[in-house]
Amino acid sequence: MSYDVCVIGLGRIGLPLALSFADAGLSVLGVDNDTKRLDSLRAKRMPFKEPGTDELLERVQLDLSARAADAAQADAIVLTLGTPAMSHIEIDMGAIRAVLDDLLPLVRTDQLIVLRSTVAPGTTEFVAGYLEKHRGFRVGEDLFVAHVPERIAADQFMAEIGTLPCIVGGIGEASGERAAKLFEPLGAPIVQTTPVQAELAKIWTNILRYATFALPNLLMMDCERYGANVFDVIELINRDYPRGGMKAPGLTAGTCLRKDFAFSEERSSAPGMLLAVSRVHETVPLFLVDGIKRRLGGSLRERSIAVLGLAFKSDTDDERDSLSHKLIRLLERELADVSVHDPVVATPTSSFEEAVSGAEVVIVATNHTEYSTPEALRSIAELAGRDCLVVDPWNAMGTSQVFAYVAEVAALQA
């Protein structure tokens, strides 16, 4: 059997894309080596939360396989494989290399291979050269290779797949045209460029966000040092000022933001600059723990602390590279008694009531909608008591303080 497209890697990037291709009328094969994930999909169950995809999975035809070699049956092959950063500040190409090796004996002329994964600059050229070296193809003539980076936010796939400009970086004009033809049915405007510019656009989109969010986090730490209120200072910076725009602080993380800077840093002309941005974010959990210790008199041993939220951002079930886990580990190293609640993630957690009841400290680690209401703060007051310390770097509950005692906030809001 032949297919219009095969998507290799049915994770949070690949699966919604495969479903969208199928919904646009293409015949689609999805490949993944996770047999549990394949079983879930065959049973028409989404393995993760992505609004709008449950209905798509139920409605469209998506063939499935655990063998990357089966991708040879498709006219176009889209790779949506993980590309983590190694500890040596270097892209890990292992998954891409492994799939290329599986496909090498089977790739045929006139096929299109698309890199959808986030990659370091030069990777698309490497893939093209690898195929030419080992199979003798002339990429751009016999075989076509392009980078079409994913830039959609978690929980926004169905809203953005047809609207965000689709960047296409083809190896040669013909590769760009073939890749554009593949993605055009999804409805987004196509922007043609070179492969390296597509790669740079993707990683620097995330680097920009990572650096932008580092500034308010550093400001939050500066305000603690000087006894100032970070939310007041941000309001002063931004109020009616045309050159303002300071963002709010928070536990900025997620698998893309935490790793993509490394793809530039490995060959950076300013070594350490982006590592410093990363260190700002990575120290936020320790900053919160130290702030709690100062307010509770030093020791957290056997102190009851509730952590609200395991996901890396609001209302997603994605825990990958969330700083909540680092925060919990640091609290446990202080011998605190930690309870956790998250209303969205698959990981089992306590109920909100169980986590908060009797807590001396409640930390809003994720700004889920469920926590971003006056009712959540009132529940903490009822279940934990007015002496409870609420730690809310997101200002999800509207306390306008990173560290605030319930009684203090209640008095201000009365």
pLDDT in tens, 136-156: 999 999 999 999 999 998 889
Question: What confidence score (pLDDT) does residue 124 get?
Answer: 96
The secondary structure element, H or E, covering residue 339 is strand 337-341
Question: What confidence score (pLDDT) does residue 181 get?
Answer: 98
Residues in the chain: 414
- Residue 171: pLDDT band by 50, 70, 90 thresholds? very high
Of 56, 51, 26, nearest in space to 41 by CA = 56
Quickly count: other Cβ atoms within 10 Å of residue 393's Cβ. 27
Encoded tokens for 114:
């698309």
Q: Measure the CA–CA gap between 249 and 281, rounded to whole angstroms.
A: 10
> What mean pLDDT do residues 317-345 have?
97
Q: Which residues pair with 192 in a beta bridge?
A: 168
pTM, 2 dp: 0.91
Residues 6+ apart with CB under 8 A from 87: none
Which is more confident, 377 or 272? 377
Question: What confidence score (pLDDT) does residue 410 get?
Answer: 67
Question: What confidence score (pLDDT) does residue 275 get?
Answer: 87
Q: Which residues pair with 307 in a beta bridge?
A: 340, 363
Q: Measure the CA–CA gap between 348 and 343, rounded to whole angstroms.
A: 9
Question: What confidence score (pLDDT) does residue 52 get?
Answer: 95
pLDDT digits (tens, 9 = 90+) for 9-40: 999 999 999 999 999 999 999 999 999 999 99
> What mean pLDDT do residues 62-90 have?
88
- Residue 413: pLDDT band by 50, 70, 90 thresholds? low
Residues 6+ apart with CB under 8 A from 121: 196, 199, 200, 203, 263, 264, 267
- Residue 411: pLDDT band by 50, 70, 90 thresholds? low
Encoded tokens for 166:
């689709």
- Residue 88: pLDDT band by 50, 70, 90 thresholds? low
For residue 263, pLDDT beyond 90 = no
**Phi/psi at 17 (5° precision):** -65, -45
- Residue 91: pLDDT band by 50, 70, 90 thresholds? confident
Residues 6+ apart with CB under 8 A from 150: 13, 17, 80, 116, 117, 118, 202
> What mean pLDDT do residues 240-263 have?
90
**Phi/psi at 144 (5° precision):** -125, 135
Of 9, 119, 4, nearest in space to 73 by CA = 4
Share of the chain above pLDDT 90, in %: 85
Which is more confident, 122 or 90? 122
Mean pLDDT over the full length of the chain: 94
For residue 1, pLDDT beyond 90 = no
Q: Which residues pair with 75 in a beta bridge?
A: none
Our CA angle for 399, 154, 63, nearest 5°, is 155
Which is more confident, 256 or 16? 16
**Residue keyed to tokens 């497209």:** 5
Q: Measure the CA–CA gap between 54 and 293, rounded to whole angstroms.
A: 44
> Which of 128-132, 293-297, 373-377 shows the lowest per-residue confidence on average (mean pLDDT)?
373-377
Q: Measure the CA–CA gap between 141 and 175, rounded to whole angstroms.
A: 8
Question: What confidence score (pLDDT) does residue 87 get?
Answer: 62
Question: What confidence score (pLDDT) does residue 265 get?
Answer: 77
Question: What confidence score (pLDDT) does residue 255 get?
Answer: 83
pLDDT digits (tens, 9 = 90+) for 265-315: 777 777 788 889 999 999 999 999 999 999 999 899 999 999 999 999 999
Greatest Cα-to-Cα distance within the chain, rounded to the nearest angstrom: 75
Tell me the DSSP string of 243-304: T-----------HHHHHHTHHHHTT-SSTTHHHHHHHHHHTHHHHHHHHHHHHHTS--TT-E
**Residue keyed to tokens 């995330």:** 206
Encoded tokens for 208:
């920009």
> What mean pLDDT do residues 1-12 have?
94
> What mean pLDDT do residues 388-407 have?
95
Of 239, 235, 207, 233, nearest in space to 219 by CA = 233
Of 190, 200, 31, nearest in space to 124 by CA = 200
**Phi/psi at 330 (5° precision):** -65, -40
- Residue 317: pLDDT band by 50, 70, 90 thresholds? very high
Residues 95/83, Cβ–Cβ less than 8 Å: yes
Of 178, 216, 170, nearest in space to 195 by CA = 170
Domains of the chain: 3-193 (3.40.50.720), 212-413 (3.40.50.720)
Of 233, 200, 193, 199, nearest in space to 215 by CA = 233
